[in-house]
Amino acid sequence: MGYLYYGDTDQPIEFPDRLLAHLKVVITTKLRRAESFTLSWRHPDDGPAGRSSIWLQESIPLRFVFDQAEPEQLDGSALQDMAQRATSASGLVVTFDELAVNPRERLATVA
């Protein structure tokens, strides 16, 4: 699991590394363009019930911390899809199982 530190809080938001890697690219690209948006998710089953949303804009500090030292392989079509969803009225809504299968793992099971 990776961690997104949002604002001045000490409590990180946990996301699977692969999902967080994609979020990092989408978030930083949009914020570089001064495009604010919401990011929403349902809480994992092992945590408190409910869902969360945060407002992402360039003046709010963010830090991405990954559990794995090696960078994740990014899926270009998933990045485009996520960026498009981020521009919608509901913002970017993600699920924790989104992008669950890494292409490297898929290739290893086929070989």
pLDDT tens-place string over residues 13-52: 999 999 999 999 999 999 999 999 999 999 988 878 899 9
DSSP 8-state symbol, 24:
H
More confident residue, 91 or 46: 91
Residue with tokens 């996520």: 82
> How high is the pLDDT of residue 67?
93
> How high is the pLDDT of residue 100?
75
Instruction: Give the residues across from 5 on adjacent strands.
Output: 63
> How high is the pLDDT of residue 104?
52
User: Closest by alpha carbon to 72, among 27, 20, 14, 15?
Assistant: 20
Q: Does 105 have pLDDT greater than 80?
A: no
pTM value is 0.86
Q: Does 106 have pLDDT greater than 70?
A: no
Q: Does 97 have pLDDT greater than 90?
A: no
